[in-house]
Amino acid sequence: MALVILLATPLLAALSTLAVRSRAALLEVFAAIAAPVEFAAAAMIVVDVIGNGKSEYGSYLAVDSLGAVVLITVALVGLAASFYSIGYLREEVRKGIIGFSRVRQYFALLHLFLLAMFFAILTLSPIGMWIAIEATTLSTAFLISFYNKPSSMEAAWKYLIINSIGLLLGFFGTLLFLASSAESGMDRFIDWGVLTREAAGMNPMLAKIAFIFVLIGYGTKVGLAPMHTWLPDAHSKAPSPISALLSGALLNVAMLAILKFKIVSDAAGAADFSRNLLIYFGVISIAIAAFIIILQKNYKRLFAYSSIEHMGIAALGFGFGGLGTFAALLHMIYHSLAKSILFFAAGNMFVKYSSTKIARVKGVLTALPVTGVVLLIGFLAITGMPPFGIFITEFYILSAGIGGHLPVVVGVLLLLVLVFAGFLRHVTGMSFSEAPESLLSGESNYLTLVPPVLLVFLFVAAGFYLPESLNSLINAAAALING
Amino acid sequence: MTQTIFWIIQILLIPVLSPFFIGATRRIKARLQNRAGASSFQPYRDIWKLLHKDEVISEDASWLFRAAPYLIFATTLVIGASIPLMSTALVNSYTGDFLVVVYLLALGTFLLALAGIDTGGAFGGFGSSREMLVAALTEGGLVLSLLTVALISGTTNLMAIPQSIGSVPFSESLPVILAFIGFSIAMLAETCRYPFDNPSTHLELTMIHEAMILEYSGKRLALIEWSSANKYLIFITLGANLFFPRGMADSLELAPVALALAVFLIKVGILCVAVALLESSIAKLRIFRLPDLLFTSFVISAVAVGLVG
Amino acid sequence: MDYFTSPSVFYAILAVFAAGATGALAFRHHDRAANILGNSLAAAGSLAGLLFSGAVLLEGDVPAFGAGSSFSLLSITFRLDQLSAFFMMVICLIALLCSIYALGYVRHYYGRYSVGMLGFFYNLFIASMILVATSHNLLFFLIAWEVMSLASYFLVIYERRESASIRAGSLYFIMTHAGTAFIVFAFLLMYQATGSLDFEAVAQGMAGASPLVRNAIFISALVGFGVKAGIIPLHIWLPSAHPAAPSHVSALMSGVMIKTGIYMLVRISLEILPGPFLWWGLVLLVIGGASSLLGVLYALSEHDLKRLLAYHSIENIGIILLGLGGAIVFSSAGMNSLAALSLAAALFHTLNHATFKALLFLGAGSVIAATHTRNIEKYGGLIKLMPQTALFFLIGSMAISALPPLNGFFSEWLTFQALFQGVISLDVTTKTVFILAVGALAFTSGLAAACFVKAFGITFLARPRSEAVSRASETGIFPRLAMAGLSIAIICLGLFSGAVVRLLSGVGGSLANIGGAEAADAAGFESVSVQNGFASISMPAVFIGIGLAAIAITAVVFLLTRRRQTVIGRTWDCGADLTPRMEITATGFSRSIITVCRRVLRPSSETEIEYHDANRYFPKIGEVTMGLHDVYRTYIYRPLQDLLTLLAGYTTKVQSGNINAYILYIFITLIALLFLLDLTT
Amino acid sequence: MSYLNETTMLALATVIFAAAGLLHFTQKYSSSIRLYMLQSCAISVLLIASAFDRLTPLLVVAITATITVKVLIAPYFFFGLIKRHELKFSVSAYLNTPVTLVAIAALLLLTRSDLFSSLAGLAAVDEKLLRLAFATILISLFLSINRRGALSQVLGILSLENGIVAFALFAGLEESPGFQLGITFNILILVVIATVFASMIFRKFGSLDVSTMKKLKD
């Protein structure tokens, strides 16, 4: 039942948002009601999965432990981003940058975006998942072009075209997988379970080709280099809460698709192949992101490249397998939290400084005392400084690879130092310097502060203490992937 | 009882004899230069005279300036009690380690250099600077040359070294000879002799030691002069007894010790002649040539250590 | 006493620091309260830690204790064996006195910077160092290690409105993080070889590891911990980071934090890795010799008091490494008692350096607080304005210059003795390294003495060289108390060196690769003798000897001259009016030594002259800036940075902005993967 | 599929492939759009033929919707776009005609290689058909790379989608009508959004040339 609520709520919220004619407060109310309801539903589903191994509704919707892990991140980031959006948009309206219709458009698309992501996780069909993920592209395209400036148009166009092409390739790969199942019977509803069961009889060569297409296709959405090119543009031009959702939720959903296909292709006897591919893409993503981060001039792009890097690390973990899979899943959760924190901080900085250029932002700690601290913590967290959780997951992932992939581990260790150095340079430049004289110091709006601060607490706590239930959930998910 | 007497002799010998050997060196030098020269006992008179004069102390000087001469003199006394003079049977296992001696000397240099800076004059500072340059670069050669004889005799205790050096056959004495060369260079540097320093100059361009003590007068100058005399004798003694230990007594009987003392005086005398000869025959080196010489000392001593065993 | 060395006491100590940290943070709007709360709790925690670790050293090891965590590889476990207890003792001893100092010292930050934040990170810093020294799980160690780096980073950039502090902090943080990458790699290799991350299990499991793995672990550990310890050429962060922090933090960083690198090098090379290889020790000897010599030479050319002290830390780490390198060589040759001697020397110097370097930094802090400059060319005559600080600084200077009868002399003596043993008992090639190490150590101590004549002389003696300095006044009661405490520690460590050697012999002997050997034949109060009487020394005798001789000669001279007068006069300067500008400068003092070593130091000088007239006959102002070429930056770090920037530039071109190119990437990847598939099957 | 003989199917496949190939060479927007319509018509024939033996009301709706979107709505939007902005000639390509031809030939050859024998093994009818459909996919992708015009890129994507559908049909794959509707809906939205964006790009940048959008670098 929770599954239906989870899908119905954002749909209803989207419809009611569209129905609003003039009262902006109503839009906020809908968002403020929908988000907690979705979160509660998601929580119920996750609890159900922890208890029973899976949670299903009818024969079309179901969540297994792997889906639950991703669902946690989507629901959490969705909740935080919804509330943050309210505060953020108020600031933008106050500054006169946008009007009522844009706010309505924003919230409607936000609800649709969440709906698409929830559906992608919940649906049992590979085709359904494809449709949902393509729907995320379409629903966010207008959010990325939200500010209607030439550069945001550019970002949105690139986002739309590259992702459409990527996803069509992924669709082709999906069809190739389905083709082998289809041989055994027409007109059936083919879900992941069927696909996996029948993959054993699949031609391994075909499975490999199919996996290449799927990996490139969904990898585009995940932001694996060299298909990542849209990501920094889109993340930097979207309003910050949307950037947080893109980085913290959408990338995970796309990764979920890859993982599900990995399970299928592993069953078809292409396990080594898929792992190696994930390692290649992981390393390339980390390397490209690391080098670009050093010279980055724009803080939102900086965070976007960091997302590429972290998706690369997660891919590496899945590629290494074993303990690495567990760590990669946990890494995705931590990354969602940390990256949302950073993008929320970025939003506050953007509201204050009206620029996303690193050189223009000075003295954040003085001008925005809370955001400054959040930014620093986010920076330390995202670059894998202990005592934050990402350090541990990175250590785990590398420890899984040290046996078989020594050069990769060495290279990644050095690249991570590079990322750290780049981040440190940029963040210290923004945080510690003197704020411009003309700037009034002080935070703007409690709604733009509470979500990041709460996430910081949650993140720090999660780095120290992982509840046993969550631990077993992730372990179960890892077991699914490792086969 | 005899032990106590010998210890008193051991402690007093260096301060009592040192002015004489300074005077003797000067006199030999004078004779070599066809001058009559002052008596060998002149330094005693100088010290006595200085002790009976009033003293002028700079208004800028601190307690360090006042205390330094006493402390420096004290270090030479302790060193005097730690080096082999007459009998190898007299052993000081407390302060007899050669590193203690080397570092006590460094302590004296350190205090003197600080005292040189303390008065705020233009001379004291550069004297200290040069002194520390020379002292720092001497250290390597000094430690390694002493290490050579220490390794041969299997102990770093200076008072125990002569015994076994004496029994080294000539065919195996190459390390000892090399070490002696290294030591000699270090000695000349440490005692402010040619070619490092001119002990009798007050020429701004060349002086090292004298520049530091320029502000001293009266009793403190007496102590400083006396200390440097002690230091000179200490080095001569080390050279004589560590590298040419023949003639040292190996018991604490009165007769052999008396004989050993006589031999000791002769050996020291010979070395003083050697120093005087050297000082009369070579020119003082430019300060930036000194490091070459000191590194030579270091290399020779290092080779000597390498040849041991 | 058993109840005192129980885990709960240990937790309580950590809790005190936690209270100090949170207390300071909570009162961050009341500078005074934050100061008192933060620093007095830090002092209390350190005192308790000192007693605790001392009790462990006397009573014996505390076996591993602690709890697991949510993560399978991570366990929050501690173990206090002798080595850990020793380092914890060093940490707590210095932290105690630094905290007392801070009570008075941080007052001058009131209203300028947040004292609460300082207290928070300061407590965190001390606690994390204790965790580093006591953690029993490699992953937990890493966390503590990085928290230590993090806390110290925030302390370095404490004066955050100074851009130099930020730059120094960034360099430090990047270097230490790069070092951590190497440490992580070493730990990963250990994990790979043993399947565990607990020190004990790793140490047992490493027995089966191949020589290649062991060598790889050693090298990466050396690089990783070498960065923290500040060995040359990985030292570049140290001279800028240590001075940037508040002085009591500099004292902790220089005195203690860099020693945590030594701690792990000892632990890895002499306990965790079985049977060290000869070349490890030789490498350490070479690095140690180079670091000590170069460190002191760089110190000589510094005019910034705190940077000068920071370079001396590099020098002293070099000396410690000489001892450690010797210990590894001896251990690899199976000469356990020599290894014990050598290690005792290294550990003793570790302790000694902590005391005198902390004292010197605290003294420097007082001087800087009183004069508001770090440039020693501006100082002078402070011995009259700050007599007690001057005395303490002098004691520290003498100790670091290895002058008897203070503690620095004894540990160098011990190091020398260990190196001598290497010259005696090893084959020709190895022996050569030891001879050179002896030479390096000898020159180092000579140069250190020269450097501290300069540092002390220019700072405290003669006349004040600037207006600001002549208005300086003695520092507060807490700082003086702390410095007095450290001075007493220096004297006592020298005087009671026999007892300390006995203690350290036990610490070293507890390590697997030393196997319980004793460092010294006999180590009592009256004398210490090593290697069957090869050498012996009595620190009390040196002390008393000098004292008695000085008293005697003073008495004699007094009796002889009691009727003579002492007149106060002007310093003679050839009849000219003496001004402070005639005094020797720090630059001038060290210039001759720098000129001698110009091949190594690469001195530079820039001359700028302003003229009165167009023909340039009559100079108005001449200015000569003397410095050193930074060869490490020029030849190592700058090229590396350039290379990375170049690569980054190329990589940036990937993101060309052209959407057609972007689609092409996807297309090429697709085709390439399909071909790859063809190739592999 | 049994309603079509192999020759017809080959002819349809050739039309689909040829349309994709010709899209590379058209100069006018109108002819590009018409080529796409032609391709979509061929797909429609295939779709209807494949569904003929299992017609259900939902399937009819789905197929009708698909055909409507592809053959009518998408071209309608595109024609609207060029009419509104009075566009006539497409923006130039990166490669000139001969080189483009060589590239297409190379891609065609690639699809003939053994590399894809396992792909071709999926064929329900003739593996030549599958290889042609696959070539269409690659060539359409290449179209999006080679052309600077925003509209051409969208046409490339749609042609790519047509290629995939053709491949699926030749391989004997059918999706359930619900999903078919979903996919079609997605395509529709894509067309709408792309047209709106293209229009906005024209307004902001003065042309449909996407290679002028290079502000977002690094």
Q: What is the pLDDT of residues B207-250, one digit of tens each?
A: 888 889 989 999 999 999 999 999 999 999 999 999 999 888 88
- How large is the average pLDDT for residues A340-360? 94
Candidate from D141, D145, D215 with C-beta closest to C657 = D215
Candidate from A155, A187, A295 with C-beta closest to D54 = A187
Q: With contacts defined as CB-CB under 8 Å, which chain A residues touch D203?
A: none
Summary mean pLDDT of chain C: 93
Q: D197, A186: Cβ pair inside 8 Å? A: no
Q: A209, D171: Cβ pair inside 8 Å? A: no
pLDDT digits (tens, 9 = 90+) for C194-237: 999 999 999 999 988 999 999 999 999 999 999 999 999 999 99
Residue D127: what pLDDT?
81
Q: C457, B107: Cβ pair inside 8 Å? A: no
Give the residue carrying structure tokens 């290092």. B302
Residue B93: what pLDDT?
87
Residue A441: pLDDT band by 50, 70, 90 thresholds?
confident
Candidate from A158, A212, A399 with C-beta closest to C188 = A399
Q: A298, D218: Cβ pair inside 8 Å? A: yes
Which of A395, A434, A465 to mutate to probe the C interface, most C CBs <10 Å? Answer: A395
Which of C653, C654, C663 to mutate to probe the D interface, most D CBs <10 Å? Answer: C663
Residues 343-402 of C with CB under 8 A from B: 380-381, 383-384, 390, 394, 398, 401-402
Instruction: Print the domain residue range for D12.
Output: 6-212
Q: A138, D176: Cβ pair inside 8 Å? A: no
Q: Which one is predicted more confidently, C43 or B284?
A: C43
List the alpha helices (DSSP H) in C195-277: 199-205, 211-229, 238-244, 247-252, 258-267
Interface chains of chain C (3 or more CB pairs under 8 Å): A, B, D
Among A331, C597, C467, residue whose Cα is nearest residue B136: C597
Asked if pLDDT for residue A52 goes beyond 60, the answer is: yes
Residue A483: what pLDDT?
79
Interchain contact B120–C (C-beta under 8 A): yes
Residue C622: what pLDDT?
80
* C621, β-bridge pairs: C610
- How large is the average pLDDT for residues D172-191? 87
Among B305, B161, B301, residue whose Cα is nearest residue B244: B161
C-alpha–C-alpha distance, residues C84 and C263, integer Å: 8
Interchain contact D80–A (C-beta under 8 A): no
Quick check: C397 and C456 in contact, CB under 8 A?
A: yes
- How large is the average pLDDT for residues B160-180? 89
Interchain contact D210–C (C-beta under 8 A): yes
Residue B90: what pLDDT?
85
Q: pLDDT exceeding 90 applies to what percent of chain C?
A: 78
pLDDT digits (tens, 9 = 90+) for A96-125: 889 999 999 999 999 999 999 999 999 999
pLDDT digits (tens, 9 = 90+) for D82-116: 999 988 888 788 999 999 999 999 999 988 888 78
C-alpha–C-alpha distance, residues A224 and A309, integer Å: 8
Out of A183-197, A284-298, C138-152, pick the least confident.
Answer: A183-197
Residue C614: what pLDDT?
79
- How large is the average pLDDT for residues C64-76? 90
Provide the shortest C-alpha distance from residue D118 to chain A (in Å). Answer: 6
Q: D153, C659: Cβ pair inside 8 Å? A: yes
Residue-wise over B240-269: b if at least 16 C-beta within 10 A, else e?
bbbbbbebbbeebeeebbeebbebbeebbb
Provide the shortest C-alpha distance from residue C662 to chain A (in Å). Answer: 6
Q: With contacts defined as CB-CB under 8 Å, which chain D residues touch C664?
A: 145
Summary mean pLDDT of chain A: 93
Is the dihedral angle over the CA atoms A304, A309, A314, A319 positive or is it negative? positive
Provide the shortest C-alpha distance from residue C183 to chain A (in Å). Answer: 10
C-alpha–C-alpha distance, residues B211 and B117, integer Å: 10
pLDDT digits (tens, 9 = 90+) for C299-321: 999 999 999 999 999 999 999 99
Q: How many domains does chain B have?
A: 1
Provide the shortest C-alpha distance from residue D57 to chain C (in Å). Answer: 39
pLDDT digits (tens, 9 = 90+) for C501-548: 999 999 999 998 998 888 888 888 888 998 888 999 999 999 999 999
Residue B101: pLDDT band by 50, 70, 90 thresholds?
very high
Q: With contacts defined as CB-CB under 8 Å, which chain A residues touch D160?
A: 165, 168
Q: Answer whether residue D217 is part of any domain.
A: no
Interchain contact B295–C (C-beta under 8 A): no
Q: C453, B110: Cβ pair inside 8 Å? A: yes
Task: Give a three-class secondary structure readout of chain A.
Answer: CHHHHHHHHHHHHHHHHHHCCCCHHHHHHHHHHHHHHHHHHHHHHHHHHHHHCEEEECCCEEEEHHHHHHHHHHHHHHHHHHHHHHHHHHHHHHCCCCCHHHHHHHHHHHHHHHHHHHHHHHECCHHHHHHHHHHHHHHHHHHHCCCCCHHHHHHHHHHHHHHHHHHHHHHHHHHHHHHHHHCCCCCCCCCHHHHHHHHCCCCHHHHHHHHHHHHHHHHHHHCCCCCCCHHHHHHHHCCHHHHHHHHHHHHHHHHHHHHHHHHHHHHCCCHHHHHHHHHHHHHHHHHHHHHHHHCCCEHHHHHHHHHHHHHHHHHHHHHHCCHHHHHHHHHHHHHHHHHHHHHHHHHHHHHHHCCCEHHHCCCHHHHCHHHHHHHHHHHHHHCCCCCCHHHHHHHHHHHHHCCCCHHHHHHHHHHHHHHHHHHHHHHHHHHCCCCCCCCCCCCCCHHHCHHHHHHHHHHHHHHHCCCHHHHHHHHHHHHHHHC
Q: How many domains does chain D have?
A: 1
Interchain contact D94–C (C-beta under 8 A): yes
Backbone angles phi, psi at B156, to 5 degrees: -95, 5
C-alpha–C-alpha distance, residues C214 and C203, integer Å: 12
Interchain contact C658–D (C-beta under 8 A): yes
Residue D89: what pLDDT?
83
- How large is the average pLDDT for residues B267-289? 91
Interchain contact C657–D (C-beta under 8 A): yes
Provide the shortest C-alpha distance from residue A67 to chain D (in Å). Answer: 21
Q: C143, A391: Cβ pair inside 8 Å? A: yes
* D46, β-bridge pairs: none
For D138, nearest residue in chain C (alpha carbons): C667
pLDDT digits (tens, 9 = 90+) for D28-44: 999 999 999 999 999 99
Residue B235: what pLDDT?
96
Residue A459: pLDDT band by 50, 70, 90 thresholds?
very high
Q: D217, C678: Cβ pair inside 8 Å? A: no
ipTM field: 0.94
Q: C662, A229: Cβ pair inside 8 Å? A: yes
Residue B163: what pLDDT?
87
pLDDT digits (tens, 9 = 90+) for B67-99: 999 999 999 999 999 999 988 888 888 999 999
CB pairs under 8 A between A and D: 119
Q: C177, A417: Cβ pair inside 8 Å? A: yes
Residue B197: pLDDT band by 50, 70, 90 thresholds?
confident
Q: Answer whether residue D130 is part of any domain.
A: yes
Candidate from C163, C173, C669 with C-beta closest to A216 = C669
Is the dihedral angle over the CA atoms B91, B92, B93, B98 positive or is it negative? negative
Summary mean pLDDT of chain B: 92
Interchain contact C537–B (C-beta under 8 A): yes
pLDDT digits (tens, 9 = 90+) for C251-300: 999 999 999 999 999 999 999 998 899 999 999 999 999 999 999 999 99
Which of C654, C664, C669, C675 to mutate to probe the D interface, most D CBs <10 Å? Answer: C664
Quick check: A441 and A369 in contact, CB under 8 A?
A: yes
Q: Answer whether residue D1 is part of any domain.
A: no
Interchain contact B95–C (C-beta under 8 A): yes
Provide the shortest C-alpha distance from residue A236 to chain D (in Å). Answer: 10
For D178, nearest residue in chain A (alpha carbons): A128
Provide the shortest C-alpha distance from residue C651 to chain A (in Å). Answer: 6
Provide the shortest C-alpha distance from residue A127 to chain D (in Å). Answer: 7
Q: B78, C545: Cβ pair inside 8 Å? A: yes
Q: With contacts defined as CB-CB under 8 Å, which chain C residues touch D103?
A: none
Provide the shortest C-alpha distance from residue C158 to chain A (in Å). Answer: 10
Instruction: Print the domain residue range for B74.
Output: 2-307
Give the DSSP letter of residue C603.
E
Instruction: Print the domain residue range for A377.
Output: 2-482
Candidate from D137, D154, D218 with C-beta closest to A172 = D137
Residue A183: what pLDDT?
55
Quick check: B302 and C435 in contact, CB under 8 A?
A: yes
Residue A182: what pLDDT?
59
Q: C161, A434: Cβ pair inside 8 Å? A: yes
Quick check: C80 and C92 in contact, CB under 8 A?
A: no
Residue A433: what pLDDT?
83
For A178, nearest residue in chain D (alpha carbons): D173
